[in-house]
Amino acid sequence: MPSAWSYFVVCHLLLFATPEISVSGHISPELVGLDALPVGRGTGWDFQQLEDLQALQSIRWWYDWGPSSNPSALKFASEHNIEFVPMQWGKWGIENLTKVIDLQAKHLLGMNEPGHQQQSNLEPAEAAALWPAMEQVANKMGLRLGTPSPAPCGVQCVRSSPFQWFDEFFEACKGCRFDFLATHIYTCNADALKWYINDCKKYKLPIWLTEFACPNGDHGPTDRQQTFMSDALKILDMDEAVERHAWFAPRTSGDWLGPSASLLQADKPKLTELGKLYTQYPGMGQKQNPGQQ
Instruction: List CB contacts of 273: < 8 A, sequence separation 6 or more.
Output: 222, 226
Whether 285 shows a pLDDT value over 70: the answer reads: no
Whether 29 shows a pLDDT value over 50: the answer reads: no
Amino acid 282: pLDDT: 82
Split at pLDDT 50, 70, 90, the class of 220 is confident
Whether 225 shows a pLDDT value over 60: the answer reads: yes
The percentage of the chain sitting over the pLDDT mark of 70, rounded to a whole number, equals 83
Buried b (16+ CB within 10 A) or exposed e, 95-115: eebeeebbeebbbbbbbbbbb
Model pLDDT for residues 125-176, shown as the tens digit of each residue: 999 999 999 999 999 999 999 999 999 999 999 999 999 999 999 999 999 9
Amino acid 286: pLDDT: 55
Show the 3-state SS of 252-264. CCCCCCCHHHCCE
Q: Domains of the chain by range and CATH?
A: 2-16+40-280 (3.20.20.80)
Rounded to 5°, the CA angle 251-252-255 comes to 165
Amino acid 222: pLDDT: 87
pTM: 0.87
Amino acid 267: pLDDT: 95
Split at pLDDT 50, 70, 90, the class of 219 is confident
| Stretch (H or E) spanning 276 | helix 273-280
Spatial separation of the C-alpha atoms in residues 210 and 224, rounded to whole Å: 21
Model pLDDT for residues 89-127, shown as the tens digit of each residue: 999 999 999 999 989 999 999 999 999 999 999 999 999
